[in-house]
Amino acid sequence: MFTRRPIRDKMLIGAGLLTAIVLGLAATAVWCSYSYRGLARSVSVRANELPLAIDFSLAVTDLRHMLGQSREINHDAFPQSFNPSPERKEGGPIPDFDPSMQREEFAARLMQVEQSLKLYKDQLTQQRESNDALVNDMSDYSYERDTIKEIDDLIAKIQTDANDGDWVLGLIDKTALKRDLDSLHTLAMQLPSNLIQRMQQLKDEAHNQYRAGIVISVTATLVGVTSLGVFMWLCWVWIFYPLRVLMQGSRLVANGNFSHRIHLNTHDEMSVLADAMNAMTQRFEEIRRNLDGQVQERTKQVVRSEQLASVGFLAAGVAHEINNPLASIAFCAESLQSRLAEALPAEGADKASCSVDDVELLRNYLGMIQDEAFRCKEITERLLDYSRLGDVEKVDTDLGDLVRNVIDMVSHLGKYREKKVHFHSRDAAIAPVNPQEMKQVMLNLITNALDSLDPGGEVNVELASLDDDQIVVTVRDNGCGMTEEVKKHLFEPFFTRRRNGQGTGLGLSITYRIIADHGGQIDAHSEGPGCGSEFRITLPASIPGKEQHHRYQAA
């Protein structure tokens, strides 16, 4: 689910996970510190309270002990009121007895008890009113408050009894006073005992908190380490691994491996960048292939142009030297043939040995000499086309009319009567060309297409304008087609693969040179043998509005 999110969301997820780790560990540390602080605070508070509780219990003990001594002294001074003690029965000494001194001493001891109680109460009040109160069992002072309330009541009652002086003289029973002091002593002893018991509970609570702290710390550490591992893994999967793949792919492409493609399934900006790099690499590879193809094509054109130039220079010298002897041979053969018709009948009357068959054979040989001489002359005339250098005169010509004239001329030839030529023209096509040369181009292409057809075959010629600056002429047939080898050498001089074995192999070479001289381009295409052929000529069109000094002409 998150793999399809953008990098921004993934980084936010990682930052959130890292923040959760930090907060978890921080919360654990704060809780442990707070627990330790509470424990230390509880121990400190109770440690301050314990001496005061002990002092109070000791003061009550002294007061109770003083009352016990007072009873023994009163028993010796007033035997009628008390039973004799074992010492008196044995005749022990009678201590001095001063009632006012005992009364003052009891009052002083009682005041000491009250002061100790006051200090203890002040300590409890200070602890209860502290702003940093503790929230645990050690901060519960309800038992102390109840105990102090009972102690206050007992002290008030003891003060009331102590104000009566008869208890010193033994005139009244001191059992109630002793019982109150015993109760006070019991309550006073309960305060430190309860505090010690609380301290024991605090120890158990501290032990439990220690265990809980260890468990929480270990758990938080494990969760933090696991989360950190998950965070690092996510960083690797979402960021570092895609960057590594991009870097390796970029290096491979930079080293020339343009077929390499970078594949990322992160569906984020990394994937978009990888797709962009793949598209760029593919586009660069296509441009390189296109440029390589253009270089190869231009190389072929240069080689072909050099071949044409070489043939042209050869034709310029050879054709000039051969034309005159060929003309003489043809003229002599024609003269001999005409003279033979006049001379043989007269001689035949005198020489019976000259038969009619020999005469006919001689005529045939002379005719063959003439035909081959004219054929050689035609070849030399074609060779002379290569020697034509420089620009030819070009006029704005309606190519539609030019193509129609060529088709009309070819259609009347007897050997093409069983084959059909169709012409399709959608727009007017005016181009600056040399009409005679362009007529030769169309004648070569159409006759070649017709020669490749079986009886009943068709040739389709299409004429169209492209973007108002180019004209395209397409000659398409359903004839014998071409192999890759034929297409490779198609425009080379003296290369021919005609089905009838005739042809000089110069027609398409001349066509290529003429189209090149007109600033155009010719391309040949065929799916293979038996699949027909297609020749596509692209020529620059006449620019509307440009100053014209040529007239429109239809060849």
pLDDT of residue 536: 92
For 201-257, the pLDDT digits (tens) are 777 777 787 788 788 888 888 887 888 888 888 888 878 888 888 888 888 888 888
Amino acid letter for position 429: A
User: Which is it for strands 458-466 and 420-425: parallel, antiparallel or unpaired?
Assistant: parallel
Nearest to 116 by CA among 180, 65, 182, 184: 184
For 352-398, the pLDDT digits (tens) are 445 666 777 777 877 788 777 777 777 777 666 655 545 567 888 88
Share of residues in the chain with pLDDT > 70 (%): 75
Mean pLDDT of 162-176: 60
As a whole number of angstroms, the distance between CA 243 and CA 249 comes to: 10
Asked whether the predicted pLDDT for residue 552 surpasses 50, the reply is: no
Place of tokens 């309270």: 49
pLDDT of residue 109: 82
Confidence of residue 326 (pLDDT cuts 50, 70, 90): confident
As a whole number of angstroms, the distance between CA 526 and CA 100 comes to: 148
Q: How far does Cα 171 stand from its chain's mean position?
A: 109
3-state secondary structure of 172: coil
Burial of 223-261, coded b for 16+ CB within 10 Å and e otherwise, reads ebeebeeebeebeeebbeebeebbeebeebbeeeeeebe
pTM for the full model? 0.42
As a whole number of angstroms, the distance between CA 315 and CA 380 comes to: 7
Asked whether the predicted pLDDT for residue 419 surpasses 60, the reply is: yes
As a whole number of angstroms, the distance between CA 245 and CA 270 comes to: 10
Query: Domains in the chain, please, with CATH?
Result: 33-213 (1.20.120), 392-555 (3.30.565.10)
Cβ neighbors of 14 (< 8 A, separation 6 or more) are 231, 234, 235, 238
Confidence of residue 460 (pLDDT cuts 50, 70, 90): very high
Place of tokens 């001489």: 373
As a whole number of angstroms, the distance between CA 155 and CA 187 comes to: 11
Structure tokens given for 413: 């030839």
Contact (CB, 8 A) for 78 and 116:
no
Cβ neighbors of 69 (< 8 A, separation 6 or more) are none
Alpha-carbon distances, residue 430 vs 262, 423, 526, 537 (angstroms)? 50, 17, 28, 14
